[in-house]
Chain A
């Protein structure tokens, strides 16, 4: 069965600095999709970034980028120029054909002013 692991329950970063959140997954599929979701204190789940496994190029959305290592089954999220509004829970998630979204347990990110 597919699993998603986030090994850092909590992380902290200084405002304007860069932080990387780790995610690994286990699958025997070759075609799948990976996502990072942000959940601020408002509780709303917000899609941050999406990566298709067949694409070698790492996805980027403004200050958010991923390091996708397919062979290592690793999908880390890098947040550059961290802002106070980035403080939230971040969830890594996996999906493939016939398999619904599977979430990691989350990483709580704090941003220090």
Chain B
């Protein structure tokens, strides 16, 4: 069965370190997204991609980057982790604008 997987499920890192969160989908979806979820804010878009070599900034992109070298993967990198980036991160994919998203199970990141 097709799926979208995120790793790790939990991570603790130190302030200033570079961190990469993995997202891998086997749906063959062109559209992939990264959101962060915080209490009182719902889910906010960090970065998104509509296809290989395409990346775009979302609402809260400062301090984050992504790259899309193939259809299946969209890793999210925190260049220099900050305590404000402590959050739950969700990856999602979609075949197109007519459809909702399929979400991964999330990564809980704690920056200490």
Measured CB to CB, the residues of A under 8 A from B are 33, 35, 37, 42-45, 47, 50, 91, 93, 95-98, 100-106
Max count, chain A CB within 10 A of own CB: residue among B40, B41, B48, B97:
B97
Answer yes or no: B111 CB below 8 A from chain A CBs: no
Given contacts A35-B100, A47-B100, A101-B101, contact A91 B43 (CB under 8 A): yes
Per DSSP, chain B at the interface is: strand
Given contacts A43-B105, A45-B90, contact A100 B45 (CB under 8 A): yes
Further contacts, 12 of them, CB under 8 A, given A44-B106, A91-B42, A103-B42? A43-B105, A47-B101, A47-B102, A50-B100, A93-B100, A95-B100, A100-B33, A101-B100, A103-B43, A103-B44, A104-B42, A106-B42
A and B contact pairs by CB, cutoff 8 A, 21 listed: A33-B100, A37-B100, A43-B105, A43-B106, A44-B105, A44-B106, A45-B92, A91-B42, A91-B43, A93-B100, A95-B100, A100-B33, A100-B45, A100-B48, A100-B58, A101-B92, A101-B101, A103-B35, A105-B40, A105-B42, A106-B42
